[in-house]
Amino acid sequence: MKYNYYREDLFGQFVGYMVPFFTVIAYMCPLCLYVLRFVTDKETKVKEGMKIMGLNESIYFLSYFIQFIFINIIHSIINGIIIFLVFDKVPLLMFIITFFLWGMCIFSLVYFIQSFIDKVRIALIITLLVYFIMFFMSMAVMNRAVKKPLKILMSVFPPVALELGVILFGNFQASFKKLKWEHINTTYFNYSMICI
């Protein structure tokens, strides 16, 4: 009995929709940890005490930033390798860059939230609320029929850009096409990796 050649990998498509959700959940730990550390420094007046002793604001920021960069690089490489085992049609470096940029968006969200709020509990609640609202906004533009300008506009929010980018990876995997670096500017399903 002959079987038709399968043109679509439903598992690849399913994983393309699930990876962003699990990525958002996985990066909640560093998000909460750094919000806790930043706001605790403000709440206990440790930051002001260090300023009185001569600490510069840029040195304080760089101490957290450099620490987060190293942790983010390690997370990006590990997550990229794990996801690359599933998505073999997408280059490993694309995953590493995607996760690295996602981690940097997490750090910028932490630094943005901590600049307004002085209480740890309120900061954690507001940070998680904003984080998940931005992620659920991606549900509005996940459909292939949504126009490119709306997808680009919504990609201002990092979780939306992550969701749409990984769905694009999943679509390449599902259609058994190799994603190459020259495909980055090309529009697929009304979205492209570089939103031009």
Kindly report the backbone phi and psi dihedral angles of residue 188, in degrees, each rounded to the nearest multiple of 5, phi listed first: -125, 130
For residues 193 and 68, which has the higher predicted lDDT (pLDDT)?
Answer: 68
Q: What is the pLDDT of residues 9-61, one digit of tens each?
A: 666 666 667 777 888 888 888 888 888 888 888 888 887 888 888 888 888 88
Q: What is the pLDDT, as a whole number, of residue 11?
A: 65
Average pLDDT on 118-147 reads 85
Is residue 182 over pLDDT 80? Answer: no
Using 50, 70 and 90 to split pLDDT, how confident is the model at 73? Answer: very high
How many other CB atoms sit within 10 Å of the CB of residue 89?
Answer: 19
Return d(Cα 93, Cα 89) in angstroms, integer: 12
pTM of the complete model beyond 0.75: yes
